[in-house]
Amino acid sequence: MNPSHNLFLIGPTGAGKTSIGRRLAAHYGLSFVDLDQEIEHHCGVDVNTVFAIEGEAGFRQRESALLDECSRRPGVLLATGAGAVLAEPNRRHLAGRGYVVWLQTTIEQQLERLERDHRRPLLAGADRPERLQAMAQVREPIYRELADLAVPGEHGGVVAASERCIALIDHHWQRPYA
């Protein structure tokens, strides 16, 4: 069991890290931080623009720096970007500074949830299913290794998913000050 003051959400694009994360943060009395939104705030432009100017490598450098900074804060729920787990230092920070919850989802659920979302640079183009599958092959083993708790994705709304997460987290997460 990982006793920590922080909750960190990992998982693929469209798993609900931001939507569910806001509800979990409110429930547990934690400050909510969305890593992509932090990047946008610090850069003054959206993630697509960062990708267009600096490429994925530049984006990942910014992501790592802010993940390091944000994960040091006490009492935070951090919703990471889907690819934040790719860098080993990020994995070390997440594992060492918080209780890591993997929000699982299927490719079909991702496609359904992201149907009208065109803000994600790594999903630009017509071959979304193939891109999502390729990302899953690389990232799922990392999510599995890093997670203190895996929450299976099911069809349903954010409220039901949040309640499911809370029930599982309450059963497994030993908060140091609870």
Q: In the chain, which residue ranges form alpha helices assigned H by DSSP?
A: 17-28, 35-43, 47-72, 88-97, 107-113, 128-146, 158-172
Give, in order, the Cα–Cα distances in Å from 33 to each of 11, 67, 72, 74, 132: 15, 10, 12, 12, 24
Residue 60 marked in a binding site: yes
Residue 16 marked in a binding site: yes
Residue 18 marked in a binding site: yes
Q: How far apart are CA 100 and CA 116, in angstroms?
A: 29
Residue 139 marked in a binding site: yes
Q: For tokens 């309450």, name the residue.
A: 170
Residue 36 marked in a binding site: yes
Residue 19 marked in a binding site: yes
Residue 128 marked in a binding site: no
Give, in order, the Cα–Cα distances in Å from 169 to each of 26, 94, 173: 14, 17, 5
Helix (H) or strand (E) holding 7: strand 7-10
| Residue 98 DSSP SS3 | coil
What residues form the annotated binding site for ATP? 14-19, 120
What residues form the annotated binding site for Mg(2+)? 18
What residues form the annotated binding site? 14-19, 36, 60, 120, 139
What residues form the annotated binding site for substrate? 36, 60, 139
